[in-house]
Structure 1
Amino acid sequence: MRGYLSHDTVVEVPAAVIWDVYRSLELGRLLNELLQDVIGKIEVVQGDGGVGTILNVTFPPGTPGPSYMKEMITKIDDEMRVKEAEVIEGGDKDLGFVLYRRRLQIIEKDAESCISRSSVEYEIDDKLEDIASQASTKPLEILAEVVGKYLKEKRSSSN
């Protein structure tokens, strides 16, 4: 069984500004600073933030399911402003997903705002169909809202 979920979040920050953060290790640093209690702690296992980088995410205490996941960045497209990562260990893999790919895309709306498109693509054995309902874009939506708000405030305070 295959599935796909997508959600758009309007962010009041220029596309280039938010992409500079999303495409780099700065995103993990910001998540550790702003969302550690919601998403967890992110550590670089190997790599420099580019394709092939492996990240370890330790979920906050009390989070149902697996306590961690490792994901590998599989795509960074600066022209289309797309970043993809696949879970390679723990997390959604431990729940039974054969493939669990997160995708962030930044779409320019106008000079001062953009759309952060969060999507999840997954594959799961047909016998585990009930687990497919656990696939969610919610963590990516929260990421877009919080990072967008942080960058907007940072821009406002520096003007």
Structure 2
Amino acid sequence: MHGQMSVDTPVGVAAGVVWDVYRGLEVGRLVDELLGDVIGKVQVVEGDGGVGTVVKLTFPPGTPGVGYMKEKITKVDDDNRVKETEVFEGGYIALGFDLHRIRLEVIEKDAKSSIIRSSIEYEVNDELAEIASSITTKQFEMMAEVIGKYLSEKSTATA
């Protein structure tokens, strides 16, 4: 079974500013700071934020399933503002998924706004279809909204 889902989150910040955060390790730092109690704690295991970087996300207490996931950055495309990661340990992989890929794309709307498109692609055995129905983009939508608001307030304060 192969599946994919995505969500577009509009933010009132220029695409270049959003991409500066999403392309590397800053996104993890902001998740830690602004959403650590909701999404989890982010720890860089190895790397500098480029392709090959390994990040561990430890979920908040009470989160169902395995308490963490490790993902590797597999693509950083500055021209198209696309970043992809693949979970290789914990998370849905521990539940039996063959693939769990996350794609984050920053799309320019105009000079002062953009869209953060968050996508999940997965492959899983048909017997695990019930677990696949629990996959959601909600955490990425929340992350985009909170980071977008943070960047918007930051740019207003420095203007």
In the superposition, the TM-score normalised over structure 1's length comes to 0.98
Q: SS at the partner of 1:97?
A: coil
State the alpha-carbon separation in 1 of the partners of residues 3 and 146 from structure 2: 26
The residue identity in structure 2 corresponding to 1:123 is E
Secondary structure of 2:133's aligned partner: helix
RMSD of the alignment, in Å? 0.6
Residue 126 of structure 1 corresponds to which residue in structure 2?
Answer: 126
Matched residue type, 2:111: A
Task: Note the residue ranges of structure 2 that are not aligned, 5 or more in a row.
Answer: none
Rounded Cα–Cα distance in structure 2 between residues aligned with 1:85 and 1:63: 21
Q: 1:101 matched to which residue of 2?
A: 101
| Identity level (%) | 62
Between the two proteins, the alignment pairs up a number of residues equal to 159
1: distance between equivalents of 2:125 and 2:55? 26
Describe how 1:2-151 pairs up with structure 2 within 5 A.
2-151=2-151
Gaps of 5+ in 1: none
List structure 1 runs of 4+ shifted beyond 4 angstroms: none
The CA distance in 2 between the partners of 1:95 and 1:137, in whole Å, is 18
Question: What is the CA–CA distance in structure 2 between the aligned matches of 1:117 and 1:39, rounded to whole Å?
Answer: 18
- Normalised by the length of structure 2, the TM-score is 0.98
Amino acid at match of 1:107: I
